Amino acid sequence: MAFFRFGKSSSESAGDSAGDDEQPVTAKPGMFDRLRAGLSKTAQVLNTDVRDLLKQEGRRVDTPFLEELRGALVKTDMGPSAAETIVKDVGERLRSRVVDPEVVVESIRRTLHDKLVGTTGDLAESSSGPTVILVTGVNGSGKTTSIAKLTCRFTEAGLRVVLGAGDTFRAAAVEQLSMWAGRLGAEIVCGESGSDPASVAHRAVARALEGNFDICIIDTAGRLQTQSNLMQELGKIRRVISKQIPDAPHEVLLVIDATAGQNALSQAEGFKEAAGCTGIILAKLDGSARGGVIVPVAERFGLPVKFVGLGESAEDLARFNPAEFVEAMLEGVLKP
């Protein structure tokens, strides 16, 4: 079904209604500008540290130069393996010669692209009936906001969405999701505060089936992988859902906070197995100077990064496109 290509990449405008999203749409502002703005803090690191290094007149590519380059690259959180590949490549191509900024930038571009290509993918969808998406992650990572953003994309594409307020831990969480549901024209199924999230999930999926909804998205309370009872709860939610629709949940999305650094990565690790995650949303890229973290995220989890979060509004979500991402990161590095 074509509708699951609803999540236009950032080179396509969010409001494009041409309806032919097989065609690459270029020269449209909108999502690419948003991606660029979101990655501006990361680009700034490359723009100052790397650019300063590249602009030093007569500077030769020697060991101190390569170590300075490595230091600047690592600041973006792209991880030691990507930085090492770039440093090695630049060393091999330019050693003892005068620095050629074009070669260095090309090496960064190619390395990041190679590491990121193939690390994305479309959302899975149900072959018949509602598509069920379970959203999980640590507290405050951006789960509920990401659900609002997905809902916005779906409803804009004319799909009917029912939300399950599975974070029954805090009353405020239910209110937050209800507010978004009202604003975005989605239905919502809530439970009593403190009630069993699996029962809320069950009722949300039942509502999706009986009301012929296209999409059912289930929110969950934030948890840590060390809280084994809560991690088991995710398994229970999955089991309940799969009894209602055998191949559901069709997606289990892990939301990771791009600003939280290495710690967030370790915290998220246990989710992959406990929740059977199928993809990642990397939220809060806009607030981070460490947008390069997408490289270790993709490497470490071995899961496709399906979307990136670029702000707090419902429109601030882009489908992850490696080529555009790398261009946005390198924005301005070669400018005089």
Ligand X SMILES: Nc1nc2c(ncn2[C@@H]2O[C@H](COP(=O)(O)OP(=O)(O)O)[C@@H](O)[C@H]2O)c(=O)[nH]1
Positions that interact with ligand X (CB under 6 A):
137, 139-145, 222, 255, 283-284, 286-287, 309-312, 316
Region from 40-48, 59-67, 139-147, 225-233 binding Mg ion, contact rule CB under 5 A = 139-147
136 sits near Mg ion (criterion: CB under 5 A): no
CB of 187 to ligand X, least distance (A): 19
283 binds, among ligand X, Mg ion, none (CB under 5 to 8 A by kind): ligand X
Could you tell me the end-to-end alpha-carbon distance of the chain, in angstroms, rounded to an integer?
47
For the chain, what is the largest distance between any 2 Cα atoms, rounded to a whole number of angstroms? 71
318 binds, among ligand X, Mg ion, none (CB under 5 to 8 A by kind): none
CB of 249 to ligand X, least distance (A): 18
Q: What is the DSSP string of 48-94?
A: IIIHHHHHSTT-B-SHHHHHHHHHHHHTTT--HHHHHHHHHHHHHHH
C-beta closer to ligand X: residue 86 or 165: 165
Cite the beta strand spans of the chain per DSSP E. Answer: 131-136, 161-164, 187-189, 215-218, 251-257, 279-283, 305-309, 317-319
311 binds, among Mg ion, ligand X, none (CB under 5 to 8 A by kind): ligand X
11 sits near Mg ion (criterion: CB under 5 A): no
Closest CB to ligand X belongs to which residue? 309
C-beta closer to ligand X: residue 4 or 180: 180
CB of 262 to ligand X, least distance (A): 19
108 binds, among Mg ion, ligand X, none (CB under 5 to 8 A by kind): none
155 sits near Mg ion (criterion: CB under 5 A): no
Residue with tokens 């990642």: 280
For 135, list phi and psi in degrees, rounded to 5: -120, 130
Neighbours of 139 (CB within 10 A): 14
CB of 220 to ligand X, least distance (A): 9
151 sits near Mg ion (criterion: CB under 5 A): no
Count of residues that bind Mg ion according to CB under 5 A: 3
What x-and-dash track marks residues 164-193 binding Mg ion by CB under 5 A? ---------x--------------------
Binds Mg ion by CB under 5 A, chosen from 9, 107, 144, 155: 144
119 vs 135: CA distance, rounded Å: 19
C-beta separation of 50 from 69 below 8 A: yes
Nearest to 68 by CA among 57, 56, 58: 56
Nearest to 205 by CA among 165, 178, 244, 236: 244
Torsion of CA 75, 77, 78, 82, to 10 degrees: 60
CB of 143 to Mg ion, least distance (A): 5
Instruction: Lay out the sheet containing 187-189: strands in order across.
Output: 187-189, 161-164, 215-218, 131-136, 251-257, 279-283, 305-309, 317-319
CB of 84 to ligand X, least distance (A): 29
201 binds, among ligand X, Mg ion, none (CB under 5 to 8 A by kind): none
Q: How far is CA 85 from the centre of its chain?
A: 24
Total residue length of the chain: 336
C-beta closer to Mg ion: residue 8 or 143: 143
CB of 198 to Mg ion, least distance (A): 17
C-beta closer to Mg ion: residue 30 or 191: 191
76 vs 43: CA distance, rounded Å: 9
CB of 255 to Mg ion, least distance (A): 9
Closest CB to Mg ion belongs to which residue? 144
Footprint on this chain of Mg ion (rule: CB under 5 A): 143-144, 173
